[in-house]
């Protein structure tokens, strides 16, 4: 079992490899901004994420997404934690309160907890970046997803059946677009299909990139290499986004 001095010494030796992030979060359920938690099999809090997908990306039998740390939602725990040290905290099930617990079996145990903590930060950074680049396709007025799907389905049928006119307004989305920009029904359908294909291709590549780097992060065992993974991701993401 490590003593407190050993824990602090190891943490101090590793902090230079940490990512910059929001420094503190409240453990009060009513005020907590980031409710996405991950714990280990011994109910130790490992990290607090801003994005639920970051937590889910590391989920396995040793890293468990959880909301169970909020034992009593009516209780006001006025603890504020340093997020890079989330691994210091556990919930005492007897008193139903948060406690600092520095009982680590070994340096390897402590290192694993710190590694998971920083992997969550890295995954948050990647998810934030992907969301920023996807906003051109996903940030829309209410109901726009349905509008785009209807336009796509109408355009697909028009092209497949080689429909030239729509006197009965069976295809109001495509006809309306054609009238607005003063083009034919077929041209309108082709433009809508191209827009749909461009958006689908971008989102597919974005999702493939996310999955690939999630797998890289999951497999990485060296804290020092996490920064390089972020650099590689940023390079690939930017390069693809400007194609």
SS3 assignment, position 44:
strand
Provide the mean pLDDT of the chain. Answer: 86
Angle at 109 between CA 232 and CA 59, to 5 degrees: 55
187-232 tens-digit pLDDT: 999 999 999 998 888 889 999 999 999 999 999 999 999 999 999 9
> What kind and span of H or E run contains 5?
helix 4-14
32-90 tens-digit pLDDT: 555 688 989 888 999 988 888 999 999 987 888 876 555 454 455 556 778 899 999 98
**C-alpha separations of 206 from 227, 235, 237, 241 in Å:** 20, 13, 8, 9
Longest CA–CA separation in the chain, Å: 81
Return the number of other C-beta atoms located less than 10 Å from residue 149's C-beta: 12
Rounded Cα distance, 243 and 238, in Å: 9
pLDDT-derived band at 24 (thresholds 50, 70, 90) equals confident
Query: Pick the residue with more confidence: 93 or 186?
Result: 186
């Amino acid at each position: 079992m490590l003593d407190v001095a050993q824990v602090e010494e190891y943490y101090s030796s590793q902090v230079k490899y940490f990512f910059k992030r929001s420094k503190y979060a409240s453990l009060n359920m009513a005020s907590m901004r980031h409710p996405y938690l991950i714990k280990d099999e011994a109910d130790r809090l490992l990290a607090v994420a801003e994005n639920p997908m970051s937590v889910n990306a590391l989920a396995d039998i040793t890293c468990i997404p959880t909301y169970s740390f909020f034992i009593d939602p009516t209780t006001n725990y006025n603890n504020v934690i340093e997020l890079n040290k989330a691994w210091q905290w556990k919930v005492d099930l007897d008193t139903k309160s948060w406690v600092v617990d520095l009982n680590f079996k070994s340096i390897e145990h402590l290192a694993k907890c710190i590694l998971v903590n920083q992997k969550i930060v890295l995954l948050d950074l990647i998810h934030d970046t992907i969301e920023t680049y996807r906003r051109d396709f996903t940030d829309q007025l209410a109901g726009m997803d349905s509008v785009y799907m209807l336009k796509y389905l109408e355009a697909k049928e028009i092209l497949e059946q080689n429909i030239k006119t729509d006197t009965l307004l069976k295809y109001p989305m495509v006809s309306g677009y054609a009238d607005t920009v003063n083009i034919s029904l077929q041209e309108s359908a082709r433009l809508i299909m191209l827009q749909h294909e461009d958006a689908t291709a971008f989102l597919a590549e974005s999702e493939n990139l996310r999955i690939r780097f999630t797998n890289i992060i999951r497999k990485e065992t060296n804290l020092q290499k996490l920064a390089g993974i972020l650099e590689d991701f940023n390079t690939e993401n930017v390069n693809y986004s400007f194609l």
